[in-house]
């Protein structure tokens, strides 16, 4: 009748892959654990490991794809795998500023994230998308859980901190202006870009007050004439 064919359950081996922690570290790992207590041999990256049901770990691996086969002593048996050790990442993300809030999305980096404004920690979060209060000239920094991933940093430009509120408005609205000037010129246009007015407005506590009283409902454009002019869309309800 012949010799029985040696086999093992499909779930006999568990293969865990750990990515490189940071670029250039070459410290990825492949960890193999077996259920059945047998004498196994595996060669990974030119290094041979003998193990039973305990774990075989291949460490200090550079990013890349590794092909290996696990053999059983005294048997014509192989279980083969192809796994990838991912490269370490450097923190990266994108951000935008609207109405005095910076909306940040961390695209690469390890949570939790610590958020700093001008060197002062604001909060810590596991979420890759969050917002934080900022103003012109602030330095926003995001640090990850892994030091060598670096820091995501952004300096908030003055023009990014210029915004109108309430918006939409029924009449009076304010525009924040990060300037040491006591007056700011604003040109107001209708949606067809027809000039309605050009006036100087006094700056009080970092903002100016405007009014759309007696103006029809619709969309208006306010051009704030700072060193770097800023254009805002105002909606009157």
Domain that holds residue 113: 92-158
Predicted structure pTM score = 0.60
* Torsion from C-alpha of 189, 190, 195, 200, nearest 10 degrees: -40
Last residue of a domain, one of 113, 133, 158: 158
Residues 166 and 232 in one domain: yes
Structure tokens at 175: 């525009």
Last residue of a domain, one of 141, 158, 175: 158
The answer for residues whose C-beta is within 8 angstroms of residue 180's C-beta and 6 or more apart is none
Structure tokens at 116: 């700093």
Sheet of strand 183-190: strand arrangement: 195-202, 183-190, 218-224, 230-236
Residues 205 and 221 in one domain: yes
How many Å apart are CA 221 and CA 218, to the nearest integer? 10
Q: In CATH, what number is assigned to the domain containing residue 210?
A: 2.60.40.3080
- Helices marked H in 103-182: none
Residues 154 and 166 in one domain: no
Residues 131 and 173 in one domain: no
**Residue 136, in any domain of the structure:** yes
Do residues 125 and 116 touch, judged by C-beta distance below 8 A?
no
pLDDT, tens digit (0-9, with 9 covering 90-100), for 66-99: 999 999 999 999 999 999 999 998 999 998 887 6
Does a cis peptide bond (omega within 30 degrees of 0) precede residue 112?
yes
Residues 170 and 208 in one domain: yes
Chain centroid to Cα 95, Å, comes to 9
pLDDT, tens digit (0-9, with 9 covering 90-100), for 29-67: 999 999 999 999 999 999 999 998 777 788 899 999 999
**Residue 1, in any domain of the structure:** no
- 160, burial (CB in 10 Å: exposed 0-12, middle 13-18, buried 19+): buried
Number of domains in the chain: 3
Last residue of a domain, one of 119, 134, 158: 158
Residues 167 and 229 in one domain: yes
Residues 149 and 183 in one domain: no
**Residue 3, in any domain of the structure:** no
pLDDT, tens digit (0-9, with 9 covering 90-100), for 160-216: 778 899 999 999 999 988 767 789 999 999 999 999 999 999 999 889 999 999 999
Sheet of strand 120-125: strand arrangement: 120-125, 113-117, 139-143, 151-155
**Residue 62, in any domain of the structure:** yes
């Amino acid at each position: 009748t012949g010799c029985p064919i040696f086999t093992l359950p499909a779930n006999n081996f568990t293969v865990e892959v750990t990515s490189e922690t940071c670029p250039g570290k070459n410290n990825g790992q492949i960890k193999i654990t077996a259920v059945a207590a047998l004498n196994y041999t595996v060669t990974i990256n030119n290094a041979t490991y003998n193990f039973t049901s305990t774990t075989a770990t291949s460490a200090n691996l550079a990013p890349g794809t590794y092909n290996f086969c696990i053999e059983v002593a005294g048997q014509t048996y192989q279980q083969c795998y192809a796994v990838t050790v991912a490269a370490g990442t450097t923190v990266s993300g994108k951000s935008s500023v609207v109405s005095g809030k910076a909306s940040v999305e961390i695209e690469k980096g390890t949570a939790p994230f610590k958020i700093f404004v001008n060197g002062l920690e604001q909060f810590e979060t596991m979420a890759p998308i969050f917002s934080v209060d900022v103003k012109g000239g602030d330095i926003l920094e995001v640090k990850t859980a892994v030091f060598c991933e670096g820091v995501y940093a952004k300096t908030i430009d003055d023009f990014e901190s210029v915004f109108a509120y309430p918006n939409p408005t029924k009449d009076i609205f304010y525009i924040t202006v990060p300037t040491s000037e006591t007056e700011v010129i604003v040109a107001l246009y209708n949606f067809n870009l027809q000039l309605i007015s050009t006036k100087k407005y006094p700056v009080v506590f970092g903002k100016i007050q405007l009014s759309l009283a007696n103006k029809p409902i619709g969309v208006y454009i306010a051009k704030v004439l700072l060193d770097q002019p800023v254009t805002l869309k105002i909606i009157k309800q």
